[in-house]
Amino acid sequence: MPEAENQYCIIRMRKVKMTALKASQIHNERLTDRHSNPDIDIDRSDQNVVFFKTGNLLENVRERVADIQAGQKRKIRRDAPVAIEYMITASPEAMARLSKQEQEQYFVESLNFVEARHGTRNRLSAVLHLDETTPHLHVLVFPEREGKLDAKSFFKLPALTAMQDEFAVKVGRQFGLERGVRLTELLEKGEKPHRHQSVAVYKAKKLKETEQALSRLEQTTEDLAAIEAIQPQKNLFSSRVSVTQDEFETLSSQAKAYAATKEILQKRSKTLLERERSVESRETLTDKNECLTRQNKALAEENSRLRGALSTERSKNSILLT
């Protein structure tokens, strides 16, 4: 399989409260033709795959919450999350590479992964959306753990990190997909972690980036055209060439723009180099600290041994004196 960029498996989680549960069901199961997401092609909604669903979802969840409440004294908050929703997909480049059969198998393995984490008893619904730009799977589960309603435990950082690692190994690896960048790696580079955005916000951002890129391209094209239009006149008595005042100003402005761009790139390069040195410095300090810790431990053990020997000698001397 040829190597390619952006071959990532993607799994996200979000908490769902009782007040949002119905809306989640309506969206996932396409219970209406009116959608806020413009990417949904209702003419293809019949291609979506419903792996399973709960008939009366809200009533089922209320009964589960009531059963847990009956077995404990602590009052369950009214705004407590009553479901966890998984959204599973892969980077668009990866989805484009996978065949239809491989995509189906990827989502089946993903569903098996979620069921193994929560148990089939706690599954609420699972729907594969094929009526949007990139295929993705929505899975709703009831967050029960050891007989308690405990969505919080699944969202602690160590649990989230372990889940991402495990999913990449057990599911992603089968299809040549990698884990996304770790949060710790982003922080070490001084970068901000990626936050999931709404479709509208994401598209607006991408549109703005595209417009800016087109603007830069148009400006560059105009600049090149202006330079190419310059026709220097050869001097009959020397090897020098002459240009008009306007042509000279055009060349001068382009030279200044090049110098400014070069300065910006140099500053960015310097910043990256400083960050690399900072990371190396932290690693060096860590190694030194570990070395000092080992030395301190050895000295403490030697000190303890000498104290023991001194105590023994004192005991012997005490016996001789008596």
pLDDT digits (tens, 9 = 90+) for 102-113: 999 999 999 999
Cα torsion 105, 109, 115, 121: sign: positive
> What are the tens digits of pLDDT across the range 164-207?
999 999 999 999 999 877 665 665 666 655 555 454 555 556 56
Instruction: Check whether 137 has a pLDDT greater than 70.
Output: yes
Q: How many CB atoms lie within 10 A of CB 11?
A: 24
* Contact yes or no for 92/134 (Cβ under 8 A): yes
Strands (E), 198-311: 233-234, 241-242
Ranges 48-62, 75-89, 250-264: which has the least confidence: 250-264
CA–CA dist 172, 139 (Å, integer): 17
Other CB atoms within a 10 A radius of the CB of residue 98 amount to 18
What domains does the chain contain, in order, with CATH numbers?
A: 9-191 (3.30.930.30)
User: How many alpha carbons lie under 13 Å from residue 187 in its C-beta half-sphere?
Assistant: 3
Whole-prediction pTM: 0.59
Whether residue 28 contacts residue 45, with contact meaning beta carbons closer than 8 Å, is answered with no
Q: How many CB atoms lie within 10 A of CB 82?
A: 23
Q: pLDDT tens for residues 263-299? A: 666 666 666 566 556 555 555 565 556 666 666 666 7
